Amino acid sequence: MIVRKIHRMIGLFMTVPFFAWALTGFVFFIRPGYGPAYASLPIKKYPMAPTAFEGSQEVLAIQTFRTILGIHHLVETSAGAEHWLDGNRIDTPDESLLRLLLEDAISADPARYGQLESLTDESAQTTTGVNLTWNWSQMRLYQSGKDTRLIDMLYKIHYLQWTGLKWVDRILGVVGLLCVLALAIAGLLLWRRSRT
What is the predicted pLDDT for the residue at 37? 93
Between CA 45 and CA 70 the distance in angstroms is: 10
Q: Which of 154, 157, 142, 135 is nearest to 38 (CA)?
A: 142
- Indicate the range of 54-68, 71-85, 149-163 predicted with least confidence: 54-68
What is the predicted pLDDT for the residue at 56? 65
Where are the domains positioned within the chain?
2-30+160-195, 39-145
Using pLDDT thresholds of 50, 70 and 90, give the confidence band for residue 168.
Answer: very high
Supply the angle between the helices 15-30 and 146-158 in degrees, to the nearest 10: 130
- Using one digit for the tens of pLDDT, what is the confidence trace for 128-153? 999 999 999 999 999 999 999 999 99
| Residue 174 pLDDT exceeds 80 | yes
Using pLDDT thresholds of 50, 70 and 90, give the confidence band for residue 83.
Answer: very high
Which ranges of the chain does DSSP label H, i.e. alpha helix?
Answer: 2-13, 15-30, 34-38, 95-106, 110-113, 146-158, 166-195
- Using one digit for the tens of pLDDT, what is the confidence trace for 37-60? 999 999 999 999 888 887 767 888
Q: What percent of the chain has pLDDT over 90?
A: 67
Between CA 102 and CA 108 the distance in angstroms is: 11
Q: Which burial class, exposed, middle or buried, applies to 195 when counting CB atoms under 10 A from its CB (0-12, 13-18, 19+)?
A: exposed
| Residue 1 pLDDT exceeds 80 | no
CA distances from 116 to 27, 45, 57, 68, 92 (A): 30, 19, 38, 16, 20
What is the predicted pLDDT for the residue at 50? 87
What is the predicted pLDDT for the residue at 52? 82
Q: Which of 71, 141, 48, 129 is nearest to 99 (CA)?
A: 141
Which DSSP string do the residues of 58-86 spell out, in sequence order?
-EEEEEEEEETTEEEEEEEETTEEEEEET
Contacts of 108 (CB under 8 A, 6+ apart): 42, 44
